[in-house]
Amino acid sequence: MFVQIKENACFKTTIFVFSASVKKRFNMISRIFYLWPLILIACACADNREEIIDKSALVIKTGTICGWCAQNDTLSISGNMVRYVNYTNCSSANPSVTKTGQIESSKLDDLLGKLDVSELKKLDMNSCNVCFDGCDDWISYSNGTDSHYIRFTRNDPKLQHIQAFVDQLFAIKAQCAISK
């Protein structure tokens, strides 16, 4: 870099003339200067699915209820404990089947790996197929003070973002229903 100074009677002009290598460095620095905010924004806007789930405070419940008492069952997962209850003949006071046990850590981890809590919370679903003798499925999620409840028709397209979680949860419920 060198400096060239031109003077005339009214003013003095300073001209900086850069060599080619200084221009390249200046261009690179200016590019980094302009790209850095974009990188920060991209990182800040990234989808953060890694929400902290305290397994000891976790309670996930699901069930199906149908008109004409065709089906009424509930699966509760609390920490690593599982409880399945099936009510028949409209008797919610006397369950026909009650099973309790522990869920394997790998199954619970697999289930939680498919749970996107933020997507679940976006769903505001409260179907009432049972109102006209159909069936409703429901899911209740709570983790400490964080909770959400949805009631829906099975395979509703609105579930697409959490469908893998729903399918896994129903598979666990079905396994509990048939196990001895």
- Examine the domain organization and report whether 90 and 145 are in the same domain: yes
pLDDT above 80: residue 112: yes
User: What total of structural domains would you count in the chain?
Assistant: 2
Higher-pLDDT residue of 97, 32: 97
Q: Give the per-residue pLDDT at 130.
A: 87
CATH number at residue 84: 3.30.1560.10
Write out the residue range of the structural domain in which residue 167 sits.
58-178
DSSP 126: B
- Examine the domain organization and report whether 129 and 75 are in the same domain: yes
- Examine the domain organization and report whether 36 and 103 are in the same domain: no
* pTM of structure: 0.69
- Examine the domain organization and report whether 106 and 135 are in the same domain: yes
- Examine the domain organization and report whether 41 and 67 are in the same domain: no
Indicate the range of 20-34, 39-53, 141-155 predicted with least confidence: 39-53
- 51 assigned to some structural domain: no
High-pLDDT (> 70) share of the chain, %: 69
- Examine the domain organization and report whether 97 and 63 are in the same domain: yes
Residue 148: strand, helix, or coil? strand
The residues near 142 (Cβ < 8 Å, ≥ 6 apart) are 57, 58, 59, 148
- 52 assigned to some structural domain: no
- Examine the domain organization and report whether 82 and 159 are in the same domain: yes
Q: Which of 169, 137, 163, 167 is nearest to 150 (CA)?
A: 137
Dihedral (C-alpha) 41, 42, 43, 47: value to the nearest 10 degrees?
A: 120
- 53 assigned to some structural domain: no
Q: Give the per-residue pLDDT at 49.
A: 47
pLDDT in tens, 115-172: 999 999 999 999 998 888 889 999 999 998 999 999 999 889 999 999 999 999 999 9
- Examine the domain organization and report whether 104 and 164 are in the same domain: yes
Q: Give the per-residue pLDDT at 177.
A: 86
- Examine the domain organization and report whether 85 and 118 are in the same domain: yes
- Examine the domain organization and report whether 91 and 171 are in the same domain: yes
pLDDT above 80: residue 80: yes
pLDDT above 70: residue 30: no
Helix 163-178, helix 105-114: angle, nearest 10: 150
pLDDT in tens, 90-108: 766 777 788 999 999 999 9
- Examine the domain organization and report whether 79 and 31 are in the same domain: no
